[in-house]
Amino acid sequence: MAGANSTPSARQTELLESAYAYVLEHGLAELSLRPLAAAIGSSPRVLLFLFGSKDGLVRALLARARVDELALLERLRPVGDDPPAGLEAVAAQVWEWLCADEHRALLTLWVEGYARSLLDPNGPWAGFARATVADWLGVLAAAQPPEQRGTPAGLARRSATLAVLRGALLDLLATGDRQRTTAAVHHQLQVGSPLANTPG
């Protein structure tokens, strides 16, 4: 179990990347160490040594998925003294990224991790859904004017925006209907929430 809590070795990092590619294709729900190990050129024994347990590997894979998510969020944050881009503009950029075909596998894995976190709050998924909500609310907050950001109305507005994006994403993943879901997202962003014009 030495590898589970220490600085990752080159081999551990290599296997994590290979395992991550595997679960993007096959999902995490029925993950079994034996076929995973065979697919990535390792063995269950090595994986257990490097990650401590199957749960440890799952936690590492969820953390790896979150790295991709956070990379997107960092690109959306204002740089230096740049003014905030605005909630609607950033939400539109987020949606464009969410509905790109090349991100479908990652987002399916994200939804799986999110759901498992709710169903098994004490398992390796623990805290994944809550952390994801905090991550996305953070980048949406950074898009708002400072005078609105810290108000109850500002929090309600970005929470509503996040709910629209998440709901449309689930619909898109279920149906593949990009045109309809994109039209719905842009409609809602233009209309704004009922609190859009409420003073901060």
Question: What predicted TM-score, i.e. pTM, was given to this entire model?
Answer: 0.79
Nearest to 76 by CA among 66, 64, 86: 86
Q: Tokens 């704004």: give the residue.
A: 192
Distance CA 70, CA 68 (A): 6
Nearest to 33 by CA among 12, 42, 25, 10: 42
C-beta separation of 127 from 53 below 8 A:
no
**Low-confidence residues of the chain, pLDDT below 50?**
1-5, 193-200
* Type of residue numbered 115: A
Note the pLDDT of residue 3.
44
The dihedral built from the CA positions of residue 120, 123, 129 and 131, taken in this order, carries a sign that is positive
- Nearest-5° Cα angle at 24, 22 to 30: 70
